[in-house]
Structure 1
Amino acid sequence: MNDHEPSTLSRRRFLILGVVTATAFAMPPFISLKAYAATLEQPPMAKVTIQVNGQSQTLEVDTRTTLLDALREHLHLTGSKKGCDHGQCGACTVIADGRRINSCLTLAVMQNGAEVTTIEGLGLPDNLHPMQAAFIRHDGYQCGYCTPGQICSAVAVLEEIHHGIPSHVSPSLTEPPRLSAAELQERMSGNICRCGAYSNIIEAISEVAEVPA
């Protein structure tokens, strides 16, 4: 800077310095080639074979894939719904080896060899499962989002009662569980209906339960 040049920065130089400084702070820290290569690695994959609705399905999935995502994204069985994805709403309920489970909480690889039944495997439009037909008769749904999980859970509930599996309402192992509204409400408490069709759902389950097997 000579004696005739002003001591203050020109507006142009000020803007240039500002851009350079901001860019320097915005730049990410140096990443080693090894670390960069690690980010490009494929996730661990595994083959899993599951009997889904009576058909053997062999999939190669990321080991972190949930059963719900395997059903929806790989097998395109979208009846099972992703609600909370935290096992709190029951919209993803399916029946695995005779037990109802939240498919969002179990990994697909954990169900290798299992027999899984989804809402699609219970019945077809021209040949409905009795529980599906009862839900229609009793208006056991409104928006329908929770209905597949509700129906799968309801089918499993009647199996639990038939086999004498206790609940908080009927904790005794010496007597069969009581088939009452309170009993059914307790057993269905893991399935949330945000539309509030609970009384209709209980009526539908009660109707099916009273039909001789």
Structure 2
Amino acid sequence: CLFIATFALIPKFTNEKTLPFVADYPFDWTISPFYEITYVCHLFFIVLLGLGVSVGEDLLVMAILLSTAYQFFILRICFEVFNTDGINNVNKKLRKLQSDQLDCKYDELTEYFIRCVRHHEMLLRFTKSFNDVINPMEVSQLIMSVASICLGILRLSKMNIITIVEVANSVGYMIGILMQLSIDCFLGNELYYQVSKLNINRFAYKKD
């Protein structure tokens, strides 16, 4: 958003009429109102690609990683309750959410254990499937982000005269790319932390 905002404010701080993207038109786009219309069109595509595609993908990955990490956290709490007096209360709550009739087939402890095992196996299947789907996309995004940072630094180093607008634009650009990288690093680490805290060594079960 900061990167887009700096693009939108460039015409206010510079006398030279430029466009966000290098373009050549069969008309003189530097005169009003062609300049304003052309600039808004360029800005629209920046918003469309920047917010609609890039940020949309980041928010989707962030939501899935947070939800998965929280599911492992819930499972860890359930494991800690295992073989304690709190099993009865948890089982009552889970029976309202699931209509599997396990209470009619097993005793209280076995019912709770089966629910934990099913939840654990479901999370493992989902995590593996999500990892298989998201890996190619994340690798390509990582390469593009690193390349964007390198190109941004190269662009700054090649400038003879650097204006405040160009510095603000470049700083906003770098901040956006670094924030994009930090989402995967921070949330991926959070997911790994929640999984590592999950103590399943106390259970020994065979998959049916």
Same-fold call, TM cutoff 0.5: no
Structure having the larger proportion of residues in helix: 2
If asked which structure has higher relative contact order (CA below 8 Å, sep 6+), I would say 2
- Compute the TM-score of the two structures, normalised by the length of structure 2: 0.23
- Compute the TM-score of the two structures, normalised by the length of structure 1: 0.22
